[in-house]
Amino acid sequence: MSMDFPQFRKLEGAQNLYVIEGPKHVTEWQPMGKSNWVMHQHFASDYPRYQWVTELLQGEDPVRILTADAWEQLRSERSVTSADPAPGRTPWPPTPSSWREEAPVGPLTTFGAAAHAQCLAEMASDADVRWALQDRVELPLMVLGGGSNLLMHQDWAGRMLHMNIRGVQKIADDGDAVEVVVGAGESWHGWVMHALDAGWNGLENLALIPGSVGASPMQNIGAYGVEVKDRFAWLEAIHRDTGALERFDSKRCAFGYRDSVFKQAEKDKWVIVRVAFSLERTAPLNTQYGAIQSELQSRGGDHDTTHRQVAEAVITIRQSKLPDPSEIGNAGSFFKNPVVSRDAFERIQRNHPEVAHYPAPEGRVKLAAGWLIDRAGWKGHRRGTCGVHDGQALVLVNYGGATGAEIWALALDIMEDVEGKYGVRLEPEVNQIGL
Ligand SMILES: Cc1cc2nc3c(=O)[nH]c(=O)nc-3n(C[C@H](O)[C@H](O)[C@H](O)COP(=O)(O)OP(=O)(O)OC[C@H]3O[C@@H](n4cnc5c(N)ncnc54)[C@H](O)[C@@H]3O)c2cc1C
């Protein structure tokens, strides 16, 4: 594995040590007292800091370039006593990562279909990810976040990297707007609530979406008129083949409806290790969705509504509509809402004037997959231990003991039936593993 990063530096005339993790990311080890270090993470999100990282990289006076061994020798002269809670910092002393053989992964997924990984390891830092990428390279590799958007069809005959990189770090604040970096292994909902507690607003409509922060850009998660792309600043990801840490801005992520470059041209090439968000204390409220308005009104009107109240309304609506994965196995919407040409839509509408639809970009039309499945007669249909949820036709459920193959067989039958009835081929939103 070749990689330009990490690179190691020391400040001449002082004891400060640096690890340059990527072109915009530096870990600093600052001496404290006689025998301790304090670690800081620096993310270059403005020009002066980018310039500083560039100068460190060039290694010109007063900075000395070190080999990894020489750096470690200097580092080992002190111990670490404190560190900022930055996402992705290497825990110290480093706990050597290790594989768990034949690990059961059904419980790590919200569908709960039984499956094993040949070997599974917890990823608590960038260093863990690099270790796992270079170990047992003959085995295929997959990344697991919260397991809420995948269906295991069979055992995974390979390495599975369970993302557990933690930490939340505010790196910019102009009094209103903040930029915050969050570790890929943080729970999405936990992060949304943490942000609201801190007064960093803009993500409230995305409360209670299961899963991890690192997976959120994968399919540009969205709900109630907001998508992750609306509050996304950048992410850092490690290339699976080279180990290089690179930064992706919004343009490079090529976000679309439940889509990004990580599901298209860059599929299976990167491990996302942290995501940065742009939030505002005075973010505008997004309450245009009818369900949110009614919920707010039922709570006593929408005057002086706070961001937290919107989050609470969203949580109540979601709890009333969607099955709780801790009670019934599911992965949320199993299918994407199909987007069709206006001609195709008009053909469907001639036979089904009541078809639920919404405008989509470029004059196209988005159909409600749940409506198509419901009208095709599948809502509440049960087949053995799996079925279609009786409250939400878009959600396939595992009542307990269903295999991935059984759930997929049901999905295929629904897809064929809907295509036969409406001429529209549904596509799964959920990632199919080992199909
Ligand atoms: C009840 C329920 C409701 C839901 N509601 C919504 C909703 O309203 N809107 C919505 O958009 N989604 C929704 N989802 C889907 C799901 O919550 C999201 O897609 C979520 O982002 C998945 O996160 P995860 O960590 O569980 O990903 P996983 O299921 O673990 O992984 C999903 C995919 O991303 C890859 N991946 C995960 N983490 C990383 C990483 N760090 N680097 C590289 N690749 C990675 C995996 O390999 C896999 O291909 C819902 C799911 C459930 C169960």
Say if residue 206 is in the same domain as residue 341: no
Say if residue 123 is in the same domain as residue 200: yes
Q: Please tell me the distance between residue 150's alpha carbon and the centre of ligand 1 in angstroms.
A: 7
- What residues pair up with 19 in beta bridges, in sequence order? 8, 27
Q: Is 150 in the pocket of ligand 1 (CB under 6 A)?
A: yes
In a domain, 318, yes or no: no
Residue nearest ligand 1's atom 52 by CA: 332
Q: Please tell me the distance between residue 325's alpha carbon and the centre of ligand 1 in angstroms.
A: 13
Which position among 258, 274, 278, 375 bears the catalytic label?
258
Determine the pLDDT at residue 301.
66
Determine the pLDDT at residue 302.
54
Q: How confident is the model at residue 1 (pLDDT cuts 50, 70, 90)?
A: very low
Region of poorest pLDDT, from 38-42, 66-70, 122-126, 279-283: 38-42
Percentage with pLDDT > 70 across the chain:
95
Say if residue 215 is in the same domain as residue 138: yes
Q: Could you confirm whether 333 is annotated as catalytic?
A: yes
Say if residue 245 is in the same domain as residue 173: yes
Last residue in a domain, options 83, 107, 142: 83
Residue 211, pLDDT > 90, answer yes
Q: What is the pLDDT of residues 349-361, one digit of tens each?
A: 999 999 999 999 8
Q: Could you confirm whether 258 is annotated as catalytic?
A: yes
Quote the radius of gyration of the chain (alpha carbons, Å). Answer: 24
Determine the pLDDT at residue 59.
83
Higher pLDDT, 174 or 46: 174
Q: Is 146 in the pocket of ligand 1 (CB under 6 A)?
A: yes
Say if residue 246 is in the same domain as residue 278: yes
Domain of residue 155 covers 85-284
- What residues pair up with 123 in beta bridges, in sequence order? 163
Q: How confident is the model at residue 89 (pLDDT cuts 50, 70, 90)?
A: low
Higher pLDDT, 415 or 48: 415
Residue 241, pLDDT > 60, answer yes
Q: Please tell me the distance between residue 352's alpha carbon and the centre of ligand 1 in angstroms.
A: 33
Q: Please tell me the distance between residue 148's alpha carbon and the centre of ligand 1 in angstroms.
A: 5
Say if residue 382 is in the same domain as residue 427: yes
Say if residue 19 is in the same domain as residue 142: no
Candidate of 148, 236, 248, 272 to mutate for ligand 1, largest count of ligand atoms within 8 Å of Cβ: 148
Which position among 204, 236, 333, 375 bears the catalytic label?
333
Residue 162, pLDDT > 90, answer yes
Residue 3, pLDDT > 60, answer no
In a domain, 324, yes or no: no
The domain tally of the chain equals 3
Q: What is the pLDDT of residues 176-204, one digit of tens each?
A: 999 999 999 999 999 999 999 999 999 99
SS (H, E, C) the chain: CCCCCCEEEEECCCCCEEEEEECCEEEEEEEECCCEEEEEEEECCCHHHHHHHHHHHHCCCCEEEECHHHHHHHHCCCEEEEECCCCCCCCCCCCCCCCEEEEECHHHCCCCCCCEEEEEEEECCHHHHHHHHHCCCCCCEEEECCCCCEEECCCEEEEEEEECCCCEEEEEECCCEEEEEEECCCEHHHHHHHHHHHCCECCHHHCCCCCECCCCCCCCCEECCEEHHHHEEEEEEEECCCCCEEEEEHHHHCCECCECHHHCCCCCCEEEEEEEEEEECCCCCCCCCHHHHHHHHHCCCCCCCCHHHHHHHHHHHHHHHCCCCCCCEEEEECECCCEECHHHHHHHHHHCCCCCEEECHHHCEEECHHHHHHHCCCCCCEECCEEECCCCCCEEEECCCCCHHHHHHHHHHHHHHHHHHHCCCCCECCEEECC
In a domain, 289, yes or no: no
Most confident of 35-49, 67-81, 184-198: 184-198
Q: What is the mean pLDDT of residues 42-65?
A: 87
Q: What is the pLDDT of residues 381-408, one digit of tens each?
A: 999 999 999 999 999 999 999 999 999 9
Q: Could you confirm whether 21 is annotated as catalytic?
A: no
